[in-house]
Structure 1
Amino acid sequence: MVPPPPSRPPRHRAFDDLVAEGASVPTDGWDFSWFEGRATEARPSWGYARSMARRLVRASAVLEVQTGGGEVLDFALGAAGSRRSPLVVATEGWAPNVAKATRLLAPRGVPVVAVPDDAPLPFADGAFDLVVSRHPVQPHWDEVARVLAPGGTYFAQHVGPASVFELIEYFLGPLPQESRRRRHPELERSDAEAAGLEVVDLRAERLRMEFFDIGAVVHFLCKVVWMVPGFTVDAYLDRLRDLHERIEADGPFVAHSARHLFDVRKTAGANGA
């Protein structure tokens, strides 16, 4: 979502209007500009997209896994300019995003390959010296190791444990303790090392999020569908109305996202070497 605005936006719009607006906004891609003035999320200190751009300059063959609508890669390629690596390929598993990413990245000479998120990558062993990904559904470390050339790098920003759980548990109730361990960076470190990869750097941060109106909550849950599986306005109408009244009375609903940054190197003994 967009960075915090300079001042709090106006409130007191009708519940039905806000909900209808939030539900009507297209959900393809990972462009969160619609949330400007409606919701905010602090950014990680490491500046992932710009850091990716600097790596694009040094790489010779790049793969982005699960590109979404291609927005982050498009930004990084633009920042890298003519110094970018000559070969860049992206994958995506959701058909609407494949179409959107193709429209965005084709002018930059980047093909987008439709690959289900849980499928093997359709590329040769050691084909890339840089693999990047922002918020993959799940990192497939063996496949990353296989397609990386020896000495190559996986540079990615992952979603961390218990991300936005304040909002999720508002709708679903308390979640089992084991669900709070999923996506834990140290567990992912272990999985990466089991695939023969060396974790050069791993950083984690929790970041403040604010939802200023119920329309932003509705659009967020429609867009990020795994937050509240099966979410529909009708199914959660009473909880949405209660949350709307809470926001109107007390101000923004506050949650916290979890992010971690992986800088991983393939050693000569890694799988697929």
Structure 2
Amino acid sequence: MLEASFARNLPAMTSDALLEAWKRDAAAPFAGWDFSYLDGRMIEAQPPWSYPDLARAAVAQAEDVLDIATGGGEVLASFAPFPGRATAVEGYAPNLPVARARLAPLGVQVFQANTASGMPFEDAAFDLILNRHGGFRAAEMHRVLKPGGVFLTQQVGGDNLDDLTAAFGARLAYPDNTLERTADAFAALGCDLELAQAWRGPVSFADVGALAYFLTAIPWVIDGFDVAAHAETLARLHRQIQADGPLRFTYSRFLLRAVRR
């Protein structure tokens, strides 16, 4: 029924071909955290800070580094060589072989662990913990940090892509993930907050197929996303592109650097 509705919203000669093209985009391979498939089709603004630069500078001063929610290890690998020991944690099983293949040659051991429930490390094991866009529990980060150790994270804000979710009539997946709540949690544990900054900026998609790939790769943005099930909304967005150009939505990010006393 939805596909029939989609067909009514586009010229008959193109609707089936577009729908199949979007399905092919949605089914394209995705591994680790590599969005190179969308090069030239998805344009992302960047926050005013540089997480890679901040992390690289911190790594240069650290003896024991832990990267949590490392994904495919892409970001951590860019900080090599490491002056001391480097370790990574990833909770999503399909990412583990990707991360291990990339990081093992750099001397990085990758563990599978859930950072919210607990990690297989002793107390005060690391002087630097990195986290880019991964879940965590503040108390667990505090536990494995040495006194004077640094926790540096760039997070996806709870209001991330609120305009995109609204377009699909969906709900935000993690509305409570805010700078204020995160900063308060670390401050309550006795950490000094050296950096705390929030930002919102645009991300644009040149075509609906690019959006379909993105939403399939990150399924929590639109819970249950499926090209056929959401064909009517995709058709509306396609018409919007035809009328106004690339789709534009809003990213939300925040940065926090906390030091354990």
How many residues are matched?
247
The whole-number CA distance in structure 1 between the counterparts of 2:160 and 2:144 is 29
Contact 1:197 1:265 in 2 (8 A): yes
Q: Check the 8 A contact 2:123/2:145 in 1, yes or no.
A: yes
Mean Cα deviation higher: 26-35 or 101-110: 26-35
Q: Name which of 237, 245, 249 aligns with 1:251.
A: 245
Helix, strand or coil at the partner of 2:70: coil
User: Which residue pairs with 1:156 in the alignment?
Assistant: 153
Q: Which residue of 2 aligns with 1:271?
A: none
Per the alignment, residue 59 of structure 2 pairs with 56
Tell me, in whole angstroms, the C-alpha distance in 1 between the residues paired with 2:115 and 2:211: 26
- The equivalent of 2:99 in structure 1 is 101
**Aligned-residue CA RMSD (Å):** 1.9
- Please point out which of 162, 174, 186 is paired with 1:192: 186
Question: Looking at CA atoms only, which structure, 1 or 2, has the larger radius of gyration?
Answer: 2
Gaps of 5+ in 1: 1-11, 268-273
Percent identity, aligned pairs only? 34
- The corresponding residue for 1:207 is 201
Say whether the 8 Å CA contact 2:115–2:140 is kept in structure 1: no
1:135-188 deviation line (CA, Å, top 9, x unaligned): 013x31000000000000001101113111111111125x58xx8952121111
Deviations 1:34-84 (A, max 9, x none): 11111111111211112211111100000001101111111122xxx3xx2
Contact 2:87–2:109, Cα closer than 8 Å, also in 1: yes
SS of aligned partner of 1:172: coil
For residue 46 of structure 1, the aligned residue among 49, 61, 85 is 49
**Residues of 2 paired with 1:198 and 1:251: CA distance?**
45
Kept in 2: contact 1:27–1:222 (CA 8 A)? no
TM-score (norm 2): 0.89
**Structure 1 residues 18 and 39 mapped into 2: Cα distance closer, same or farther (>3 Å)?**
farther
Matches within 5 A, 1:1-273: 15-77=18-80, 81=81, 84-137=82-135, 139-173=136-170, 175=171, 182-267=176-261
Q: How many angstroms apart in 2 are the aligned matches of 1:195 and 1:225?
A: 33
Q: Are the counterparts in 2 of residues 163 and 256 from structure 1 also a CA contact under 8 Å?
A: yes
| Inter-CA distance 140–73: structure 2 relative to 1 (3 Å threshold) | same
Superposition TM-score, scaled by structure 1 size: 0.85
Where structure 2 has 5 or more consecutive residues not aligned to the other structure, the ranges are 1-13
Structure 2 counterpart SS, 1:205: strand
